[in-house]
Amino acid sequence: MSEIKEVIVKTDRLATDKYQVNMGPQHPSTHGVLRLLVTLEGEKVLNVQPHTGYIHSGIEKMCEAISYPQIIHLTDRMDYLSAHMSNEAVALCVENALQIEVPDRVKYIRTIMDELTRLASHQLWWCVYGMDLGALTTFFYGLRDRELILDIFEETCGARMTVSYSTPGGLMFDIHPNFQKRVKDYIKYFKTKLPEYDQLLSGNVIMRERTEGIGYLTLEEAIDFGVTGPSGRASGFSCDVRKHQPYSAYPFVKFNEILDHRCDSLARYEVRIKEMWESISIIEQLIDNIPEGDYAVKMKGVLKLPEGEFYQRAESARGEFGVFIVSDGKKNPYRVKFRSPGFSNLFALNNMAKGHKIADLVAIMSTLDLIIPDIDR
């Protein structure tokens, strides 16, 4: 009798069951093959468990079999939207190990390329973010501006995204004679277009309703999870490698580290928009002052690193990218480990999305700017 009573009581309260839904690996809003195991109660998200490994390509293991200049082209394929930063991190790591000082010209060109890559990456992020919120218009506007940066890359580096431009000891080619003019034209053009981004999306009432106060990540949580890059800085975590451990030409330029203490999705959005302005100002400071000189140091045919462990950080468009090389004195590395920003950022998603609706989960995930090959490597 008592059992029956209990059942009746339960149905009276209309208790909804928890259920689990697989979002991905083929879900369009996961930007690749990311699988999220979402525990739901009705529409409310209780728990998000990311499952990675669907595009694992074993890049770290492949690096053990090839020489140091050959590693560069594999790092293109990890974070394909900020390929140049990954190239540069590996190149810097090898140069530090061999204690080679590259010419100033190389440093300046690398930094300009970094910032152009950051612009291109943030533009793509911006247009995809709008699309995840349901605004298809932004997609065309962002890609239109990004295409011109890719043209600059194509002219100087020979490829649009997988540039392989920084090599140990310098650069693959010297800059193209048109490079400076093109970059200056582009900066002039993009300065008129970036305010359009604000008009289209930043001020939009629908976008603000869906981001303000959503996806809260406290400073403590950001530090615990190692959330770096614009996502970490939106939680007030001062983590800009360009500022704290300057490399290449960053010591020569003046720029601000964008920090925001609002910790929500809107903060992560605005940090990226402001970073684009900072990137523009960095490029403007450097583009007219590229010193004359060689574009590469003459290197030996076979590079052999001294025995030991070497670590190099670089600020990619998504956060801190780290390269850890263990060398046993041969021409191949003994072990290579990449610290990818996307992996650390992804696992903070549970803390951000808990308690929100499933539609907000998509909006929150998109603010992290996830690149799946960067997570799985």
Partner 1 sequence: MKSFIEYITSIFKGVWTLLIGMKVTGKYVFTPWKHVTHSYPENRDTLVMFERFRGEVIMPHDANNEHKCTGCGICELNCPNGSIEIISKSIVTPEGKKKRLIDQHIYHLGMCTLCNLCVKACPTGAIVMGQNFEHAVWDRAKLTKVLNQPGSKISEGVKE
User: Which residues of this chain interact with partner 1, rule CB under 8 A?
Assistant: 66, 69-70, 72-74, 77, 137, 144, 147-148, 151, 154-159, 162, 164, 172-173, 176, 196, 199-201, 203-206
Q: How far is the CB of 189 from partner 1 (least distance, A)?
A: 10
110 vs 146 by CB, closer to partner 1: 146
Q: How far is the CB of 297 from partner 1 (least distance, A)?
A: 14
- Are the C-beta atoms of residues 45 and 276 closer than 8 Å to each other? no
Residue type, position 160, single letter? R
Sign of CA dihedral 98, 318, 258, 103: positive
CA neighbor of 309 nearest in space, from 329, 295, 294: 329
C-alpha atoms less than 13 angstroms from C-alpha of 198 in its C-beta half-sphere: 13
138 vs 235 by CB, closer to partner 1: 138
- Are the C-beta atoms of residues 223 and 344 closer than 8 Å to each other? no
Q: Token pair of 64, please?
A: 């053990």
47 vs 204 by CB, closer to partner 1: 204
Helix (H, G, I), strand (E, B) or coil at 339: strand
Q: How far is the CB of 20 from partner 1 (least distance, A)?
A: 36
Query: Distance between CA atoms of 105 and 248, rounded to whole angstroms?
Result: 10
Q: How far is the CB of 306 from partner 1 (least distance, A)?
A: 23
Residue type, position 272, single letter? R
Question: Does residue 31 come out as left (phi exceeding 0), alpha (psi in the -120 to 50 range) or beta?
Answer: left
51 vs 144 by CB, closer to partner 1: 144
Q: How far is the CB of 325 from partner 1 (least distance, A)?
A: 17
Kindly tell me the burial class for residue 324, based on how many C-beta atoms sit within 10 Å of its own C-beta (0-12, 13-18, 19 or more): middle
C-alpha atoms less than 13 angstroms from C-alpha of 350 in its C-beta half-sphere: 13
Query: Distance between CA atoms of 273 and 193, rounded to whole angstroms?
Result: 12
Q: How far is the CB of 172 from partner 1 (least distance, A)?
A: 6
Q: How far is the CB of 239 from partner 1 (least distance, A)?
A: 31
36 vs 127 by CB, closer to partner 1: 127
42 vs 195 by CB, closer to partner 1: 195
For 352, phi then psi, to 5°, come to -75, -40
8 vs 205 by CB, closer to partner 1: 205
